[in-house]
Amino acid sequence: MTFRATVLTLYPEMFPGPLGLSMSGRALEKEIWALETVQLRDFATDRHRTVDDTPAGGGAGMVLKADIVAKAVDHASPVGDERPRLLMSPRGKPLTQPRVRELSGGPGVMILCGRFEGVDQRVIDARGLEEVSIGDYILSGGELAAQVLLDAVVRLLPGVMGNVASGEEESFESGHLEHPHYTRPADFEGMPIPDVLTSGNHGRIAAWRRERALDLTAERRPDLIEKMTRKT
């Protein structure tokens, strides 16, 4: 079954963008996944194709209108569509590797790309949109965030990565950051590859990699160590 991604956006020309390159691009060509864009302005009813309005209660900026977004969502994700309906939003739940893996095991996603000050809360509630954030910072819109999410998901689809084991050892898959990597030349500017990695002793190598991974995690993401401790 092909993983289907439908993106609702004011800028469909931004897609596939980087998703058309490298692993995700090859997977798109092989039809391992499919990408469709929907122009929100196509659901406007006035000659100016207006999709936003001033916020109720006053304030700066504009807000995407509930009626316009609802029509777009109903078109892109009709009754019976089992794909989750996502809204890329800085106030959403942070995207994590477990959620990415969960999405990759499903039939696909419908993604609404936020713009301006946000989206009318009524359509978020009425259409069951799951707000998702890729970090504690603000972008001009949800398009880049949607591309980040799709890149993370698509690479986990069967047949996309050449070496499946490489995905299993990456940062966040096991709850901690990934260990350091080395390759030839054996000596780079006076810095040799650690002896253990050229010892041929796979048990020692695995132990060294786990120890370095935990050291890096403790140094850079102590919150992950705390989360691992709570689980045990």
154 closest CA partner among 94, 103, 88, 111: 103
Given the candidates 3.40.50.620, 3.30.2020.30, 1.10.3720.10, 1.10.1270.20, the CATH classification of the domain at 169-231 is 1.10.1270.20
Strand partners, 115: 141
Q: What is the maximum alpha-carbon separation in the chain?
A: 71
Asked if residue 49 has pLDDT above 90, the reply is yes
* Average pLDDT of span 146-170: 84
H-helix segments, the chain: 22-29, 66-76, 97-104, 121-126, 143-154, 164-168, 202-220, 222-231
pLDDT value at residue 232: 64
Rounded average pLDDT over 143-154:
98
User: What was the pLDDT predicted at 140?
Assistant: 96
Q: Which CATH class is domain 3-154?
A: alpha beta
Alpha carbon distance 182, 193 (integer Å): 6
Q: Give percent of the chain with pLDDT exceeding 90.
A: 90
pTM: 0.91
Confidence of residue 135 (pLDDT cuts 50, 70, 90): very high
- What's the confidence (pLDDT) of residue 230? 79
98's tokens: 């477990």
Domain with CATH 1.10.1270.20 in the chain: 169-231
Domain with CATH 3.40.1280.10 in the chain: 3-154
Please compute the mean of the pLDDT values over residues 185-211 and round it to a whole number: 97
Phi, psi (degrees; rounded to nearest 5) at 167: -75, -30
Radius of gyration of the chain (CA): 22
- Separation of first and last alpha carbons in the chain: 37
DSSP element (H, E) containing 131: strand 130-133
Give CA–CA dist 97/176, Å, rounded. Answer: 11
